[in-house]
């Protein structure tokens, strides 16, 4: 679990405005579920932040799971009157990349789209990569690539020569790559997210979306489960789902129209 940095100005009492404000032992926390401004209005202090982008949309037409939004954590020094524009990225529509989230100079990259037969079988690149669509041929479709330091790769699809071609790939999560479906035994699951405790509660964010099950596998094998951290479930014997709002989770892949990625989040805290 990532350990976020400590502050060097514990004797200061900085104040700021923007987002939803809460207090925990030793800190004031500002949570942004939508785009706004963070205005530092008193004193000098170190800010600690977590920035998570919108998750990628799950693939349409027996598609792969959407990749989780990228994440960044760090600290920076702020002085009185500092005004930061906060951008909270939207989740991607089905088969579309998620939108970037921004705080100061930190830009988290939107999650990669799940692969789809309607345009491209490969998963899209992003913060975490999207999973590949179902394979009808002897080719192996590739999972999407992640952004360095922000996530993990999506999984590729099965190969008709040695695997059931109806299996897709799960989207990558902040903590692990997506899983490729294998026959009826291994669902195309989304990669797990990561836990952060910046709000005072250890919470998972940025889980990858599960891939769809197609053909006869749809009801005979388990759905591709989304990764912890808001990843949506791929359509199969269970109904597919969107990524969870304000987690950066990837959307589930679908037999039909696909599912949306979850929106991102920006969280800032400083010593009381």
Q: State the pLDDT at residue 94.
A: 95
Q: pTM score > 0.75 for this model?
A: yes
- For residues 138 and 159, the answer to whether their CB atoms sit within 8 Å is yes
Q: Kindly list the averaged pLDDT for each block of 10 residues, start to end, along the chain of length 272.
A: 40 73 93 96 88 97 95 94 95 97 97 88 96 78 96 85 70 97 81 98 98 70 89 88 98 91 97 86
**pLDDT in the model for residue 257:** 86
Q: In this predicted structure, what is the pLDDT of residue 210?
A: 96
Residue 160: what pLDDT? 53
38-56 core/surface letters (b: 16 or more CB in 10 A; e: else)? bebeebebbbbbbbbbbbb
Contacts of 58 (CB under 8 A, 6+ apart): 64, 65, 66, 94, 95, 114, 171, 209, 211, 212, 232, 234, 240, 250, 251, 252, 253, 254, 258, 259, 260, 261
pLDDT of residue 229: 98
pLDDT reported for residue 218:
62
């Amino acid at each position: 679990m990532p350990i976020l940095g400590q502050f060097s100005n514990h004797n200061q009492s900085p104040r700021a405005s923007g987002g939803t404000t809460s207090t925990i032992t030793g800190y004031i926390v500002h949570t942004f579920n939508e785009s706004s401004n963070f205005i530092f209005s008193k004193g000098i202090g170190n800010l600690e932040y977590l920035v998570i982008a919108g998750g990628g949309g799950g693939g349409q037409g027996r598609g792969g799971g959407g990749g989780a939004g990228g994440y960044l954590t760090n600290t920076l020094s702020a002085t009185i009157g500092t005004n930061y524009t906060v951008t909270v990225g939207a989740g991607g529509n089905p088969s579309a990349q998620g939108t970037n989230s921004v705080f100061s100079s930190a830009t988290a990259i939107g999650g990669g789209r799940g692969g789809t037969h309607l345009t491209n079988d490969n998963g899209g690149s992003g913060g975490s990569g999207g999973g590949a669509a179902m394979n009808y041929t002897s080719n192996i479709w590739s999972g999407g690539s992640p952004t360095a330091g922000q996530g993990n790769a999506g999984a590729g699809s099965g190969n008709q020569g040695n695997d059931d071609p109806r299996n897709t790939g799960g989207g990558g999560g902040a903590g692990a790559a997506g899983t490729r479906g294998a026959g009826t035994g291994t669902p195309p699951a989304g990669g797990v997210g990561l836990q952060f405790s910046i709000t005072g509660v250890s919470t998972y964010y940025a889980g990858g979306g599960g891939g769809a099950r197609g053909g006869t596998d749809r009801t005979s094998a388990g759905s591709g489960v989304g990764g912890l951290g808001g990843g949506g479930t791929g359509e199969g014997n269970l109904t597919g789902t969107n990524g969870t709002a304000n987690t950066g989770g990837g959307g589930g892949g679908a037999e039909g129209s696909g599912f949306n990625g979850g929106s991102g989040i920006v969280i800032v805290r400083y010593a009381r």
